[in-house]
Amino acid sequence: MIKPAQLYKEEIKKKYIETWYNEEYMYYSGWSGVEELDIPNNNYDSHHFVSVDNNGNILGYISYSVSFVTMSADRFGAISFDKGNVLFAKDLYQIICDIFDKYHLNRLCWSCIADNPAIRGYRNFIKEHGGRECAYHKQICKLMDGKLHDDVEFEILAEEFKR
């Protein structure tokens, strides 16, 4: 179930802080250090959501910035606190559909560290639902593991999105 993240601010922040020193989550922030999530008290230029189960437990957090000038959802990000949960995957897909169908934005873009195991899912997603890899940056960020990592940018245009 998708809910506004503002309703769960403190719980999300706590769950996110718990990931800070876990190498499994180092790909989310894209840097060697992280800070608390900035969940604003409005939805003017960014949208923030949580995926929750029927008991109100937070499964994950999804956010993106919105440019109404370019009609784009940029810096799309998703983090699962319950790896492999199908409900979170369904909510994530619904939010992507809403970007095009409900909010009538024209473009969705996100980036992924090339070594992130999730990149396989992103590549499968654009293969099935439209979109493309539009950039590859070599040695762009240093992560918790002390290594420089490459980064891949993805985008989907509304006219290319296949439901």
pLDDT of residue 61: 98
pLDDT tier for residue 38 given thresholds of 50, 70 and 90: very high
Is the distance from CB of 115 to CB of 138 less than 8 angstroms? no
pLDDT of residue 84: 87
Residue 29 has pLDDT above 90, yes or no: no
pLDDT of residue 89: 96
Report which of 160, 117, 110 is spatially closest to residue 135, judged by C-alpha positions.
110
> Which strand ranges, in their side-by-side order, compose the sheet holding 148-157?
2-4, 46-52, 58-67, 72-80, 107-113, 148-157, 132-142
pLDDT of residue 30: 74
Buried b (16+ CB within 10 A) or exposed e, 32-48: eebeebebeeeeeebbb
pLDDT tier for residue 47 given thresholds of 50, 70 and 90: very high
* Per-chain mean pLDDT for the chain: 95
Model pTM above 0.85 = yes
pLDDT of residue 51: 98
pLDDT of residue 133: 98
Condensed to tens digits (0 to 9), the pLDDT of residues 53-89 reads 999 999 999 999 999 999 999 999 999 999 889 999 9
